[in-house]
Amino acid sequence: MFQQDLHIDGEWRSGSTGRRYPVIDPADSTEIATFAVASEADCVAAIRAADRALPEWTATPPRDRSEILRRCFEIMQEEEERLAEIIVRENGKAYVDALTEARYAREFFRWFAEEAVRIRGDFRLSPSGDKRITIVQQGIGVSVLITPWNFPAAMATRKIAPALAAGCTVVLKPASETPLTAAYVIDVMVRAGTPPGVVNLVVPQPAGPGVQAMLRHPSVRKLSFTGSTEVGRTLLKEAADYVISSSMELGGNAPFIVLPGADIAETVSGAMVAKMRNGGSACTAANRFYVHVSLIEEFTERLAEEMGRITMGPGLTPTNSLGALVSVKERDKVAALVDRAIEEGAHVRLGGSPSESGAFFPPTILTNIRHGSHITTNEIFGPVVTLIPFDEVESAIEMANDTIYGLIAYVYGPHNEAMTTALRIESGMVGVNRALLSDPAASFGGVKQSGLGREGGFGGIKEFLEEKYVGSAL
Ligand code: NAD
């Protein structure tokens, strides 16, 4: 059922050392596959293959590149259920979340198939009138793409599609927890006619030395990373040694502000999406709920009712709307955050304790949370709501901005007040009376320590393009 090998230079390979590692289903801790481990030599071989494939791919007419990407979209559309099942098996999320991801992921192929033929330049007379200024946009070159486990398909396609549209060749390094989804995406690309070497897949274990070997290679021009801020900082330092252009989609600590006068039913349904989408394992997940004192009781009550209705269990059972976290380690991380919050005075309104077997953590609501406490300064990455009341909108804005992160925020309330508040939040994205923002046609990314650069929208392809200025005689 699963492709379990590396993909280098158009071939599926088991890796030069022959080593494999187990891929675990987090719902029941069973081994579902053994994936090939990439040695440093395999990682470098993948970069060399990408480098060899680069001239021809760059010279491939944009329309042809576009049509390959479009075929990837179509194959993923035909096979959405197959992809959703692979995602559930290795990531643990509920089937409904996996299917939503499968649909979101393929849209990056469609969007960037459309962008591939619209790369523009600039041609004009210099202000002094002594020369022509020509600006061309060219693919930056061989790109290393590193992705996390929480959206194993979408985070890969969000990078691969713009890179290939721009004329770059790539090596994808997915999270070790979720290599099967990545291998599926590469398999789709092979079937869609992507030439050998244009897209390669390596899974070094541990990740560090293999990635370093790739970044040291002189052909590498781009690092595009999605993952935690901590690992992002390390990679930025490593990329600095070779002055490699870096795009970073990092962690978040999203505030969800409920203003006085907010419509409670609309706000609760928004809170359910902002918190519970993907089981809370999303960089966009609301982490801290700042609710006006006039609404906090009713909001808490209605949210507890909604969260209490969620059925938790193995993701493949269609009636379960909350699946497992990606691993028992991740479950224990969420549990440790909750335990520490309780020690610091939080009250448990719902849930609070992990499952004994499998990587499950139930929908949880914590009240009596102090702004600035441990759980409000760390990314929870699980189905845990922390509630903090406020009196003045000014203080809600201050608390929302009091973080090193700035990926996304949510504001619910009367439209004008919510818009005014949104404009004062320090984040790359804000949802105003709207909890689902991710859209391949919009630019996704953070400010502060949540990232550098944007993915999707019109900016996504620019991360993989470089401007060249050609000055010429009149
Ligand atoms: P992570 O940072 O632990 O790992 C991300 C990737 O980096 C994985 O492929 C991992 O194998 C690799 N990696 C880890 N250590 C490395 C090293 N020393 N050198 C090279 N590569 C290394 O993140 P995760 O736990 O997989 O994912 C969760 C994090 O991702 C959260 O912080 C979340 O907010 C973030 N995220 C951000 C976005 C966004 O768009 N901003 C989207 C999804 C997830």
pTM, two decimals, is: 0.98
Residue 254 pLDDT > 90, yes or no? yes
**Can you give the pLDDT at residue 429?**
98
Give the residue numbers annotated as catalytic, written as ranges.
249, 283
**Can you give the pLDDT at residue 165?**
98
What percent of the chain lies above the pLDDT cut of 90?
Answer: 100
Q: What is the CA radius of gyration of the chain?
A: 23
Tokens at residue 60, please?
């491939």
Residue 49 pLDDT > 90, yes or no? yes
pLDDT-derived band at 318, boundaries 50, 70, 90: very high
pLDDT in tens, 400-429: 999 999 999 999 999 999 999 999 999 999
Question: 228 C-alpha vs ligand 1 centroid, how far in Å?
Answer: 4
Q: Outline where DSSP puts E strands in 119-219.
A: 122-125, 132-139, 142-146, 170-173, 199-201
From 269, 243, 163, 196, select the one nearest 45 (Cα to Cα): 196
The CA-atom distances, in angstroms, between 457 and each of 4, 235, 463 are 32, 25, 11
Other beta carbons within 10 angstroms of residue 274's beta carbon come to 28
Which one of 93, 226, 378 would you pick to mutate in the ligand 1 pocket, going by the greatest count of ligand atoms within 8 A of its CB?
Answer: 226
Cis peptide before 22, with omega less than 30 degrees from 0?
no
Question: 175 C-alpha vs ligand 1 centroid, how far in Å?
Answer: 7
Atom of ligand 1 nearest to the CA of 151: 43
Q: What is the mean pLDDT of the chain?
A: 98
**Can you give the pLDDT at residue 400?**
98
Residue nearest to atom 23 of ligand 1 (CA): 227
Average pLDDT over residues 113-123: 97
Average pLDDT over residues 332-339: 98
CATH assignment, 6-250+450-472: 3.40.605.10
Question: 326 C-alpha vs ligand 1 centroid, how far in Å?
Answer: 13
**What is the distance in angstroms between the CA of the first residue and the CA of the last residue of the chain?**
62
* Ligand 1 pocket member 180 (CB < 6 A): no
**Can you give the pLDDT at residue 268?**
98
One of 3.40.50.2300, 3.40.309.10, 3.30.70.1230, 1.20.1630.10 is the CATH number of 254-439, namely 3.40.309.10
* Ligand 1 pocket member 379 (CB < 6 A): yes
DSSP helix, strand, coil percent of the chain (3-state; round to 5): 40, 25, 35
Domain boundaries, the chain: 6-250+450-472, 254-439
With left for phi above 0 and alpha for psi between -120 and 50, is residue 218 left, alpha or beta? alpha
* Ligand 1 pocket member 145 (CB < 6 A): no
* Ligand 1 pocket member 211 (CB < 6 A): yes
Average pLDDT over residues 346-371: 97
Strand pairing report for 254-258 and 408-412: parallel
pLDDT-derived band at 211, boundaries 50, 70, 90: very high
Question: 349 C-alpha vs ligand 1 centroid, how far in Å?
Answer: 31
Average pLDDT over residues 285-311: 98
At what angle are helices 80-91 and 62-78 packed, to 10 degrees?
70
Strand pairing report for 30-36 and 429-432: unpaired
Which one of 108, 145, 146, 201 would you pick to mutate in the ligand 1 pocket, going by the greatest count of ligand atoms within 8 A of its CB?
Answer: 146
Tokens at residue 292, please?
């006006």
Q: Are 356 and 331 in contact (CB under 8 A)?
A: no
Average pLDDT over residues 385-395: 98
The span from the CA of 399 to the CA of 275, in Å, is: 19
Element (DSSP H or E) covering residue 223: strand 220-226
Tell the burial category of 125 from Cβ atoms under 10 Å away from its Cβ (0-12, 13-18, 19+): exposed
Atom of ligand 1 nearest to the CA of 407: 41
* Ligand 1 pocket member 212 (CB < 6 A): no
Residue 372 pLDDT > 90, yes or no? yes
pLDDT in tens, 136-181: 999 999 999 999 999 999 999 999 999 999 999 999 999 999 999 9
**Can you give the pLDDT at residue 31?**
98
**Can you give the pLDDT at residue 472?**
97
* Ligand 1 pocket member 226 (CB < 6 A): yes
**Can you give the pLDDT at residue 1?**
79
Which one of 87, 150, 224, 237 would you pick to mutate in the ligand 1 pocket, going by the greatest count of ligand atoms within 8 A of its CB?
Answer: 150
* Ligand 1 pocket member 228 (CB < 6 A): yes
Q: Are 195 and 185 in contact (CB under 8 A)?
A: no
Backbone angles phi, psi at 229, to 5 degrees: -60, -35
* Ligand 1 pocket member 207 (CB < 6 A): yes
Residue type, 166: A
Question: 115 C-alpha vs ligand 1 centroid, how far in Å?
Answer: 27
* Ligand 1 pocket member 327 (CB < 6 A): no
Atom of ligand 1 nearest to the CA of 249: 41
pLDDT in tens, 15-45: 999 999 999 999 999 999 999 999 999 999 9
**Can you give the pLDDT at residue 142?**
99
pLDDT in tens, 181-203: 999 999 999 999 999 999 999 99
* Ligand 1 pocket member 149 (CB < 6 A): yes
